[in-house]
């Protein structure tokens, strides 16, 4: 059962929304995790301050042929089987959400979009999404992850989300971070993806928009542009939902067949009556 699986530990670094201090405290944390009989040892090392400041406040990054990549991920399905007084921010993933997050980790790995940096909402369901993705994508456990309360409170509109992305990605990304995964909420997340790519993007739970831009010197200029290319939208189809959909389609075909037979019969009766 997924509920009994020990999660790969992602060491999140919290960021206060009102803080403008970019200083990082170096740390090295180790945690072991047994997932399906495999022991993982996770290391999370903070970036060196001098390295990060190469791109701080929008300074140019070293010349590279690699484009900048942004992954806007909406958290997996959360559970509503909680007391009414329970805070929304503390809602966990549902069993369907667990399965979707694991599958999403596999898809992200297959696409070759492993991030250099993870920026995540401080909502429990968002953090658990990243943790369960690590079960299928071990390399994700080695990526630095930062928790941001702004990604929860400021996710109501696309413009707000883009402003938050611009602030935090510029502040947190190092000179070598060319792919950033941002985990948050709707409606703001899909609106932000639509604005950046100038295309209609729909993000259901556990959906990820893969955005790429080549004509940008740094993250600051990149997130001020609407010339992002929408490379793909990763979607996860739950096996139970797929089975249910197939059954519905099958029943629909049966009903359609019956309707055709009935209609043919009525036509036959009408024609014989005329004779």
Annotated binding site: 125
Residues in binding site for substrate: 125
DSSP string, 182-229: EEE-TTHHHHHHHHHHTS-----TT-EEEEEESS-SSHHHHTT-S--E
**141 to each of 112, 137, 179, 228, 230, how far by Cα in Å?**
15, 8, 15, 27, 26
CA distance 60 to 190: 28
Asked if residues 28 and 52 have their Cβ atoms less than 8 Å apart, the reply is no
Asked if residues 156 and 192 have their Cβ atoms less than 8 Å apart, the reply is no
Select from 27, 50, 36 the least CA-distant residue to 7. Answer: 36
What number of residues does the chain have? Answer: 275
Select from 177, 230, 227 the least CA-distant residue to 201. Answer: 230
Tokens standing for residue 113: 């979009």
């Amino acid at each position: 059962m997924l509920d009994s699986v020990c999660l790969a530990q992602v060491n999140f670094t919290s960021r206060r929304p009102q803080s403008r201090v970019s200083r990082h405290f170096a740390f090295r944390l180790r945690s072991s995790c047994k997932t399906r009989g495999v022991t993982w040892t996770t290391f999370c090392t903070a970036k060196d301050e001098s390295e990060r400041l190469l791109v701080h406040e929008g300074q140019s990054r070293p010349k590279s042929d690699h484009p900048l990549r942004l992954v806007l991920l909406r958290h997996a399905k959360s559970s509503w089987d909680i007391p009414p007084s329970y805070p929304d921010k503390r809602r966990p993933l549902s069993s369907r959400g667990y399965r979707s997050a694991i599958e999403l980790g596999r898809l992200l790995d297959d696409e070759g979009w492993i991030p250099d940096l993870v920026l995540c909402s401080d909502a429990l369901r968002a953090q658990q999404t990243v943790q369960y993705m690590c079960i299928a994508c071990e390399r994700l456990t080695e990526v630095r992850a930062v928790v941001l309360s702004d990604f929860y409170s400021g996710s109501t509109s696309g413009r707000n989300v883009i402003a938050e992305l611009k602030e935090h990605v510029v502040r947190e990304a190092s000179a070598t971070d060319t792919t950033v995964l941002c985990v948050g909420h709707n409606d703001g997340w899909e609106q932000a993806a639509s604005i950046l790519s100038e295309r209609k993007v729909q993000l259901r739970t556990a959906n990820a928009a893969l955005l790429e831009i080549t004509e940008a010197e740094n993250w600051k200029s990149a997130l001020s542009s609407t010339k992002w290319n929408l490379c793909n939208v990763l979607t996860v189809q739950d096996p139970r939902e797929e089975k249910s959909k197939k059954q519905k389609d099958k029943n629909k075909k049966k009903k359609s067949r019956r309707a055709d037979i009935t209609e043919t019969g009525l036509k036959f009766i009408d024609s014989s009556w005329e004779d």
